[in-house]
Amino acid sequence: MSTHPRFRPLTGATGLDVIDPIETRHFSLRTDSPVSPSETDPDEFAFPVATACRIRTGRLSFSYAVPMDVRTPEGDHRSSIDLPMKTEFPADEYLLELHSPIKIYLRIDGAMSIDATDDGVVIELGDETTVTVGARSYHSSPAATITVPDDPEAMMEAVSAFPSALKTTSPERAWPTLRGHPPRVERGDELVIPDELDVPDTGITIAVPPEYGYVYTVAPLAYYLGAEVVPGETARLTADSEEIRHLGDDVASVGESVEEILKRVLLLDCVTRTEGLYPDDLHERDVLETHTDLDFGALYDAPPADRLGAYLAVSDEAIATVESPWHRITHVEEDPGPDAVELLPYVVNDLSLVRVKQSSDEQWSPTESQRQTGEALESFVRNPTPADGEEDFLRSASLRRSVRRNDGVETPESARENEGDGEEGTPLGSGTAARDENAARGVPGEGGYMPLPDVDALEQAWIGDRTPVEGTKLLKEAFEHETPDSEDGSVEITVVCNDAEMRAELESAAEIYDDRDDLRADVSSEFDVTTDELRDLLAEESDMFHFVGHIDGLGFQCSDGILDAATLDETNAKTVLLNGCRSHDQGVELVRAGASAAVVSLGDLWNEGAIEVGETLAELFFHGFSIGHAMTIVREHTSLGKDYVVVGDPGVTLAQCENMLPCMYHISQDSEHCFETDEMVVEVHSYPIRNCSIGATFRTHLPEVTHHHVAVGAGEQWKVTLDRLQKEFQPISEPLIVDGELTWTDALLDN
């Protein structure tokens, strides 16, 4: 079955449905009459598309706001369609580029009018005419495999081949869609670089000592610059054989230099490319033009080496006026060996920075408040106090039987005599020793955790045997699994609950997952399943498997015993949320069996706090946030969020974002005038995802904002009235931070 986008007539309405079977995305072009798409040649388009078809219609409409660019058939820019906007175009040939969840181009011959509002877009064509539709997926995967021996100099040559994936070395490379996936790397006996890899000749070289730590650190910069990595006694950056920057005297200082240069170059590329394919009104350009005298037109056409030299000459003070936190920093072990080489292409594909752990970093061990009394000293037990008067309980399959919580007081329940030892498909075992042994399993033992330093990034990741206390533990298998395709672009979700006292999360999560009109979601809710039924559910293809219930160190508690994920031959669940106690090891096993990512817990969880985490994650996942960014938000804004980590691939998303780029609106009162006006201060924080990653741009739908921003971190601040906020948020649901508390636009509209 082809993995390219597909076309088919809409059901239940007139129009064309465009489906991306790999990314589980769809986009609907509504028409004024039924259509019958006929296949045509994709080469009719000036830009690359994977599939194309023809339809006949006199009117096209989209059910939500979609930015567009109007071009000539050859691809030259004529006009940008932003919101709100109504404009007419005389009879001519046009190419419309839609910035939608799937990349779509429309070829139209004739006059047209475009009316773009917050509620959607209408394109009137007058008489019925032929419209040619082209589509391509944002999905990107390695096109080749490089084999490397365990030799850092060989890895230098492999990293030097990563830029073969770049579609261009012009400033347009800042667009995520013009940066292809670096080749896959596998370890072998000798270096093999496929002949078909065409590496650009930029004249840029990075020299570093031949050690893995240096190679890992410079890899993202080498990829983006199209630089060759070579051995050298000192770390330096050269352009056309001239040294233009000393990078540092040790791996830590080299990491700092790489971070500063990569941030600077990508940001200035974003500004310079406004001279090219997308001449948008960019906020960062407006600011920089008041602090520099750069000739962006000349820079756009300059060779890569000359452009790099000009970028490095810009003052740090000017860069500081527009720079934002990076989206991700990935850490590797101190004095790393070759173990990380196979993960490196995936780290570089996301343009994550890489840092090597320093020997001065503190070793972490659980605090006394994180230790459960008794013999289970190696398991984490977080104890948030439940609301006054409310009884709460632990989600541990073993500890819950002896510990409940009422107003913060722990009391033992009566002893239970007939508890088995937790073998799969058998009753639970008996005895205190068995319970304590199980309680100590399911999470890494003492010394198995890695603290990550405070950094200027939205999220962090770790490559190594240990598990980060916060962030994502990257697992190679997560990036190598085949992604199941979707026939109709619908999101398949399975929610399983195996305890009646936790049923509230089953019902609330299912409701959240089924709450978007613009998204096709098939939500299946299951209660009190057996081990065989749970095994079958995990084998079924799904985009999200959300488990609510008890998890022992030995596995998932079912009505007839325990299912250990290590016994599964495979799972076809793409993303997994295991909202039970000490689910770390079970999540790792599910990733090894086929999942791309799993949210797991590091200890025993009080039920009310776990419900809060489960519902918040469901909301964020279903609004398009990546699993890594969702966990960053949950850690900061829920009572138990710090007790969870991600294992696998932090870039996985569950659903397409209606506005392409997930955003969080931080809202606070204007303290200076709060008694005289109802004005609020609004700051938009954007969270890049793979199909709209770092280097993309966005424009908020607030009408006061007329320019675009580079998509990462915090944007400008604006003052708007509460009435204006309520009006603009009326048709959409967005997460808000109101005076430091996480809420949703629905709550704002209700006030």
Q: What is the pLDDT of residue 749?
A: 64
How many beta carbons lie within 10 A of that of residue 86, not counting itself?
11
Query: Taking a C-beta distance cutoff of 8 angstroms, is the pair 43, 25 a contact?
Result: no
Torsions phi, psi for 475 (to 5 deg): -125, 130
Q: Residue 154: name the closest of 185, 199, 196, 195 by CA.
A: 185
**628: which 2 tokens?**
């890594």
In this prediction, the residues of the chain whose per-residue pLDDT falls under 70 are: 1-3, 360-440, 484-489, 518, 670-677, 703, 731-732, 748-751
| Structural tokens at position 113 | 């009018």
Cα 549 from Cα 558, distance rounded (Å): 9
Strand locations in 46-144, DSSP E? 51-62, 68-71, 77-81, 85-99, 103-117, 120-136
* Residues paired with residue 461 on neighbouring β-strands, in sequence order: 330, 472
Domain residue limits, the chain: 6-136, 145-356, 362-656, 663-750
Residue type, 219: A
- Residue 511 DSSP class: H
Per-residue pLDDT tens over the stretch 683-741 = 889 999 998 999 999 888 776 777 899 988 777 788 888 787 777 777 667 899 988 89
Cβ density class 483-496: b for 16+ within 10 Å, e for less: bbbbeebebbbbbb
Half-sphere exposure of residue 485: CA atoms within 13 angstroms, side-chain side: 14
Helix %, strand %, coil % of the chain (to 5): 25, 35, 40
Q: Name the one residue in this structure whose structure tokens are 């706001």.
A: 65
Q: How far apart (Å, rounded) are the C-alpha atoms in residues 396 and 400?
A: 5
φ, ψ of residue 220 in degrees (nearest 5): -60, -40
Among 463, 469, 245, 231, residue whose Cα is nearest residue 348:
463
Burial bucket for residue 46 (CB in 10 Å: 0-12, 13-18, 19+) = middle
| pLDDT tens per residue, range 240-262 | 999 999 999 999 999 999 999 99
607-622 vs 503-513: helix axis angle to the nearest 10?
10
Q: Are 711 and 701 in contact (CB under 8 A)?
A: no
Residue 334 CB-half CA count within 13 A: 9
Token pair, residue 706, equals 């007329």
**DSSP 3-state of 131:** strand
Q: Say if residue 421 is exposed, middle or buried (CB neighbours under 10 Å; 0-12, 13-18, 19+).
A: middle
Whole-number pLDDT of residue 426: 38
| Per-residue burial over 95-122, b = 16 or more CB atoms within 10 Å of its CB, e = otherwise | bbbbbbbbbbbbbbebbbebbbebeebb
**Closest to 559 measured CA to CA, from 504, 512, 498, 513:** 498
CB contact at 8 A, 667 and 681: yes
Residues in the chain: 751
Question: Which of 225, 234, 228 has its CA nearest to residue 205?
Answer: 228
Rg (CA), the chain: 27
Cα maximum dimension of the chain: 84
* Residue type for position 628: G
- For 609, the enclosing helix (H) or strand (E) is helix 607-622
